[in-house]
Chains A and B, each alone.
Chain A
């Protein structure tokens, strides 16, 4: 005998935890639910693991945030990789949703990659409702709203 196959497989019961439950339930209805830290009062979207990493306390009240916001930073993806679903070059951005204090990552489309800029106002383009699950990929991508760019001081304090 020269070789043996030893497949390894383990299944886990993953729990998202109560701190994230309202966020996931909201996504199923097309609502974006974050949570506010009771100490620093920042609104986390998504609400991470239910905890403010700055203060080490459990997050408090649910806060519904808008499905539009401001690009706070971005990168242009030029590198092809296995499993790539979007034609390169495309833009992955950090978007600070209105009423949230922490940026989230998503795609920017319907605009040429070289025209994307920090401060640009964007809105969500949702998949059709029958495709929704408990994930941020319910949003297909974000696209420019056409509004004037946001002033830097309006998002300079945001983290992420």
Chain B
């Protein structure tokens, strides 16, 4: 079911400025961002029917740290809430299903990630198969490099195209006050830098980032009363490739292509696409899979995950950024995307439209 029977929209968003290393607790990061999202929608917390949170205990090293995060909501009178051990974009998907079920008319979806709390590359190495892959110590940079190498060898794209993605992202982030890195970069200069995880260079990889964000969802007339121009979620779909890296082609992204087909990316003009692409080649793979033409669609006007990558929040940030463009009137039709797992294994794609 990628199209619901109820009209559901993103009506408000809030994002914390990104930090390289915060000393705040999850709760302290979340409280201001939840208050800002509610204020943006012009509602009280008691107006929210359902709360859904995305975060990862492995990142904080604290079992059940997500339970403590409920403090940030203010749980009196009692609330209805849920949590996904995943990016907040998947919490948004759960909230969308909840609203489709008729059990809620509104939801506040939020996520936070303190990537700086532990050796994040080592932490993520343990998301792999515990018997055959995790012991190899394949961290996220190594896995991304494997995929980039496969694509370069197959001629899917070249290093110049990868550096172009980096240069454009850094330039776009100049206009994004919450990005962590930004700047003017020349493609030739970028390519002159040494590789860090060959064939990846520093500019191909995301910065370690701490951050938090929130979006408010509402159905039908509630959405219209909370927002002048809601960003309607016309379709949303989540597809997953096999977790066995050796059992799929790394030079394409079949799950993203299938999700894109189901939300009908190509049915109409796409003004903006916010792709959750932490590595430069991720964006190139996703553009191919989703059929996005960089000539007619503005890609990652926020700077994307290459300029701020708070793990578990960077996907929901794409939804917030895409929705902001629709709510603000700058775009009529926008795509929001979140990836998860090694080498773009999981892909969640949504189409947002203004009235």
Q: Which residues of A contact B (CB under 8 A)?
A: 4, 6, 8, 10-20, 48-58
Contact = CB atoms under 8 A, between A and B. Distances in A.
B119 A56 contact: no
Given A13-B118, A49-B27, A56 B45 contact: yes
Given A11-B118, A12-B118, A55 B27 contact: no
A15 B74 contact: no
Interface in B58-95: 60-62, 68, 70-76
Given A51-B28, A56-B75, 7 more contacts: A10-B61, A11-B119, A12-B61, A17-B23, A50-B25, A53-B70, A56-B35
B126 interface: yes
A154 B265 CA distance: 64
Main secondary structure of the interface of B (DSSP, over half): helix
Nearest to B25: A17
Contacts of A48: 27, 68, 71
Contacts of B45: 56
Given A6-B135, A18-B23, A18-B28, A53 B119 contact: no
Interface string B93-133: 00000000000000000000000111100110010001000
Contacts of A15: 22-25, 117
A15 B22 CA distance: 9
B135 A56 contact: no
A14 B61 contact: yes
B187 to A, nearest CB: 36
A11 B123 CA distance: 10
Contacts of B122: 10
B146 interface: no
24 contacts: A10-B118, A10-B126, A12-B61, A14-B61, A15-B23, A15-B117, A18-B24, A20-B25, A48-B27, A48-B68, A49-B25, A49-B26, A49-B28, A50-B28, A51-B28, A51-B31, A51-B71, A52-B74, A53-B71, A53-B74, A56-B71, A56-B74, A56-B75, A58-B31
